[in-house]
Amino acid sequence: MASVKLGSTVIISYLLLLATICNAGLSQQYYQSNCPQAAAIIKTEVNKILRNNPNLVGAFLRLQFHDSWVNGADGSVLIKSTATNVAEVGAFVNFQLRGISEIDQIKAQVEAQCPNTVSCADIIAVAARDATVFANGPYWPVALGRRDSRVSRAIDADTQLPFPVLRFSGLVQNFAAKGFSAREMIVLSGSHTVGHTHCNGIGPNLYNYTGQDSLTDTNPNLDPTFATSLKQTCPKGNTLNIVDMDSSPNTFDTLYFKKVLANQGDMITDDELIRGPSGPSIVQSLSQPASSFRAEFANGMAKMSQMSPLLAPNGEIRKSCQFIN
C-alpha cells in the first residue's frame, strides 16, 4: 500500500510539473530552431565546472532561488553593482553569493556558437537542474524563453528573500507570498543537502538567538555537542569560515533532513523546519530514503524557475551576464 501511495505521489507531482511548464508562457523547444545545441553546451560546461569543484552544486541551486524569488526569473541576480546602483548581488541576503563567474563561463561558450540568442536567466535555470543531476539528484524538464532584466536592486533582494533568522511562521509567510505551500518550503529547503554555508548565516543561531548578541545567546533547541562543535568552526564575529550543510555535501540525498531532526540545523531557518505545527511530520517523512523528496523537489524547482519570467519583447539577451547591454 505504501509503495502504491508513493507511486501515485510521484505521478501527480510529474503531471503538475508538466502543467506548470505548459502554463508559464515558456517552451522546452524554445531554442530548437536557432540554437538546438544550447542544452548540450550548458550541460557540458556545468559538468566540467563541477568536476573541478563539486561543491558548486549548492551555489547553482542558490542562484536559481535568489534569482527567481526577486521579481521573477530574469537573471537580475547576476548583474554587477555600479557607482550609482547597488545591485542584488550587493544585498545583505546575498552575502558570498557564488557561481556567478561560472554562469558567465557557460554563457561565453553558448555565445560562441549562438550569439545574442540564449538568455542568462535560462542558463541559470538549466544549470541548476544539470548541477542537481550531477550530484545524483532528480532530473526535471526546464521550459525556456526567459529574457534578461535590465534592472537589479539590492533593496529588492533584501525585502523579498528570506533571511536566515526567520522563524517557521515567517518562512511560511515568505513562501506563501510567492505561491508556495509550507510543505513546498520544507521540500525546497532540502537543497541544503548539497554545498556549504558561511558562518555569516550561522552566527545568529549561536550568538544572537533572542537578540542579546552574546556568547551564550545560543538556540536552546540545538544539540549541545553539535552547538559546541559549530562554535569552534564559527567563533563569534567570524563570517567567512564555511560549514558543510550535511555529511555528504556533494551528494543529493536525505541526510540534511536527518540532521535537522537531530537538532543539528546550522542556521535558524534550518532548525525552524521542525518547530512549526506541520514541520516535524513533513521533515520526518522526507528524511526516509524511499520518500517522495526527489519528485517533490523537482516539481518545486521547476515551479520556482517559472516565477514571473520576463518574456519577449521585454528585457534583453545580455552578451555578458554581469553587464547590461
Question: What are the residue ranges spanned by the domains of the chain?
Answer: 26-162, 168-298
Whether 66 is catalytic is: yes
Q: Which of 29, 170, 189, 165 is nearest to 92 (CA)?
A: 165
Buried b (16+ CB within 10 A) or exposed e, 258-295: bbbbebbbbbbbbbbbbebeebeebbeebbeeebbbbb
Q: Dump pLDDT digits (tens) for 104-141.
A: 999 999 999 999 999 999 999 999 999 999 999 999 99
**What mean pLDDT comes out for the span 284-310?**
96
pTM of the model: 0.92
List 58, 59, 64, 66, catalytic entry = 66
Q: Do domains 26-162 and 168-298 have the same CATH topology?
A: no
On whether the 26-162 domain is CATH 3.40.50.150, my answer is no
Residue 253 labelled as part of a binding site? yes
**What mean pLDDT comes out for the span 84-96?**
97
Residue 197 labelled as part of a binding site? no
Residue 67 labelled as part of a binding site? yes
Q: Dump pLDDT digits (tens) for 188-244.
A: 999 999 999 999 999 999 999 999 999 999 999 999 999 999 999 999 999 999 999
State the Cα–Cα distance between residues 143 and 131, nearest whole angstrom.
Answer: 16
- For 242, list phi and psi in degrees, rounded to 5: -120, 150
The residue behind cell 502543467 is 19
State the Cα–Cα distance between residues 267 and 168, nearest whole angstrom.
Answer: 12
Q: What residues contact residue 137 under an 8 Å CB cut-off, 6+ apart?
A: 194, 252, 294, 297
Residue 70 labelled as part of a binding site? yes
Residue 246 labelled as part of a binding site? yes
pLDDT at residue number 13: 52
Residue 72 labelled as part of a binding site? yes
Q: How confident is the model at residue 2 (pLDDT cuts 50, 70, 90)?
A: very low
State the Cα–Cα distance between residues 70 and 88, nearest whole angstrom.
Answer: 9
On whether the 168-298 domain is CATH 1.10.420.10, my answer is yes
pLDDT at residue number 25: 82
pLDDT at residue number 323: 98
Residue 74 labelled as part of a binding site? yes
State the Cα–Cα distance between residues 79 and 56, nearest whole angstrom.
Answer: 19
Is the confidence at residue 22, as pLDDT, over 80? no
